Structure 1
Amino acid sequence: MKNRIQELRRQRGWSQADLASQLGVSRQTVNALERGRYDPSLPLAFTIARLFGAAIEEVFEPDPD
């Protein structure tokens, strides 16, 4: 799944650690999310979207296949 987490985080001037703290996850989890190596649970995806003030579809995009 593609996402815009890194772009949205950088727009706000947050580090990965800042975002991780706000989400209650580890910095490694944020790194894995940004690199597309980890797909978040549905509750975490909604939390991420809410934190950025965006619809979930504005943050996450399913892979085309």
Structure 2
Amino acid sequence: MENRLCRYACAFCGEVNDSLVDLSAGRKQSYVEDCAACCRPNVLTIRIDWESGEVSISSEFEG
């Protein structure tokens, strides 16, 4: 299992958060993670480009 630490901005307050992405879980992933600052839930969508190794995260407010 290979993990990568990535960052995303909270969709509610804008605070930058860290998220540990499991690269072995597939090239497209989605899960909910609470913001460390405001505790609001964020729906994270992770996309992994296997060729370049680039990981992108987008966040949406769940609520």
TM bucket normalised to smaller: under 0.3
Q: Using CA pairs below 8 Å that are at least 6 residues apart, which structure has the higher relative contact order?
A: 1
The TM-score, its normalising length taken from structure 1, stands at 0.26
The TM-score, its normalising length taken from structure 2, stands at 0.27
**Structure that is richer in helix per residue:** 1
**Structure that is richer in strand per residue:** 2
